[in-house]
Structure 1
Amino acid sequence: MELEVVIPAVNEERRLPPTIAAAVDYLAGQPWSSAVVVVDNDSVDCTIDVPERFDNPVTPVHVIGCSEHGKGAAVRRGIVTSAARFIGFVDADSATPIETLDKVLPLLRDGYAAVIASRHISGSRCEQETALRRCGGWMFRRLARLSLPDIADTQCGFKFFDGPLVQNVAATCQVNGFAFDVELLARLVQAGGTVAEVPVSWSDVPGSTFSARRDGIRSMADVLRISLAR
């Protein structure tokens, strides 16, 4: 398999169908082999039933479970169970268009360990971001740069990796919450990998499970622990 696209999902029965449909439609038109893997993070709605609507022989759609709570845990499970040459994840809300892979795959083939979408580099466009999210994001970025000073945006939910390298790194990661991206990227860099950022057109889609008040403080504390552990 050339590429696997992981979608972590918890209670996403409403937002997941158009995301999978867009991914399958795009991937089925590409010349390389691919699959979509939904990681159900212990949902209590019908999320687990959604993928079977879209499975097809050209671009298979699989679902696996993850009983350990947290987006980081779900993404990590999707990575370590993959055997693809390139592995990545996208959010269930399609905030970043799947067509961004047009920019990502050539860079991975050129040897980058990670290619990530960035909302904070030239050429990017962000829409509908709330003031609270902008403020929290600014604070988080300041802390993340303690570990990753050369990366403008660690939190956009669209990241793709060299498969074997990220599998080795992910197996050593411990952060299960929303700051898992920082730990994963920091460990990739420490392992000698290079990271490229690509501009993106991003929109803040309603229905996110992330709460700035509930999850923000925990995420910032996790980032501080990551920087201190270096």
Structure 2
Amino acid sequence: MTSVLTRPPVDLEVIFPAFNEEHRLPSTVSTAVDHLARCPWSSAVVVVDNDSGDRTHDVLDGYGAAGVEVYAIGCSDHGKGAAVRRGMATSSARFVGFADADNATPFDTVDQVMPLLRQGHAAVIASRRADGASYEIEQSALRRCGGWMFRALARLTVPDIADTQCGFKFFDGPLVREVIDDCRIDGFAFDVEILARLARRGHRATEVPVAWSDVPGSTFSARRDGLRSMADLIRISLAR
């Protein structure tokens, strides 16, 4: 693991935003590194520690493989959106994106993503509602209800996207670095803002199906974060 802010350019950088993820992060990073080491493109893994209070930063020691560097950077601004933007803004990769630390989306989904990015797609995102997708482990009834409400509001801004909230999204690097300059949402609706600003520039996201699993330990709280996310979606729909 290397703790630096500026990093050499690669074909693909994968960002893992992390807040108190000392238990789930090691296996997720290991899975990502092992897979990327077998891929024909150059790549790196970047963990953005979002001001964690546990050993998130320390557990990354010893990770990495030939041709796949693991970097750790910090982000003192709280919120998943702030952490992801920090990783993207400091990247010089041709393609850049993020995945969740819980590994709910199988990492080998990247094998579907990269060919599409290379063909010129501006954004390629994992989807639990695209044709061929499935739920390996279903969410709780409360989370499903909250997800339905979130999707209904998200469609006000990005009506063509079936699933805005699967935590596995990748982008053309230079383009997304331009777009995030105007992004302000730090909470869990941050990726809807990115997709909305891309859409306003005429760039549509491409969805790829995944076999998704609900994983215990999410930092999202329906009570604490739900209302804020709904309010953020309204802000996004009204922004220009």
Residue segments in structure 1 that go unaligned for 5+ positions in a row: none
Give secondary structure in 1 for the equivalent of 2:23: coil
Fraction of identical pairs, as percent: 67
Deviations 1:43-86 (A, max 9, x none): 01000112222033420000000000000000000000000000
Q: TM-score, normalised by structure 1?
A: 0.98
1:7-86 paired onto structure 2 within 5 Å: 7-86=16-95
Question: What root-mean-square deviation, in Å, do the aligned CA atoms of Structure 1 and Structure 2 show?
Answer: 0.8
Q: Identify the match of residue 165 of structure 2 among 155, 168, 191.
A: 155
Q: Identify the match of residue 123 of structure 1 among 100, 116, 132.
A: 132
Q: CA deviation at 1:156?
A: 0.4
2:212 equivalent in structure 1 = 202
Tell me the distance in 2 between the aligned counterparts of 1:166 and 1:50.
30
Tell me the distance in 1 between the aligned counterparts of 2:178 and 2:60.
28
Q: TM-score, normalised by structure 2?
A: 0.94
Q: Identify the match of residue 195 of structure 2 among 182, 185, 191.
A: 185
Q: CA deviation at 1:13?
A: 0.2
1:219-230 paired onto structure 2 within 5 Å: 219-230=229-240
Residue segments in structure 2 that go unaligned for 5+ positions in a row: 1-9
Please say if 1:144 is aligned against 2:144: no
Tell me the distance in 2 between the aligned counterparts of 1:152 and 1:221.
20
Give secondary structure in 2 for the equivalent of 1:171: helix
1:170 equivalent in structure 2 = 180
Tell me the distance in 1 between the aligned counterparts of 2:20 and 2:31.
19
Q: CA deviation at 1:171?
A: 1.6
Tell me the distance in 1 between the aligned counterparts of 2:123 and 2:61.
30
Q: CA deviation at 1:192?
A: 2.1
Q: CA deviation at 1:110?
A: 1.1
Q: CA deviation at 1:226?
A: 0.6
Q: CA deviation at 1:194?
A: 2.3
1:110 equivalent in structure 2 = 119
Are the equivalent residues in 1 in contact too, given 2:126–2:208 (CA < 8 A)? yes
Tell me the distance in 1 between the aligned counterparts of 2:91 and 2:202.
22
Deviations 1:185-229 (A, max 9, x none): 000111222210000011110000001111011001100111012
Are the equivalent residues in 2 in contact too, given 1:52–1:61 (CA < 8 A)? no
Tell me the distance in 2 between the aligned counterparts of 1:56 and 1:108.
24
Q: CA deviation at 1:99?
A: 0.2
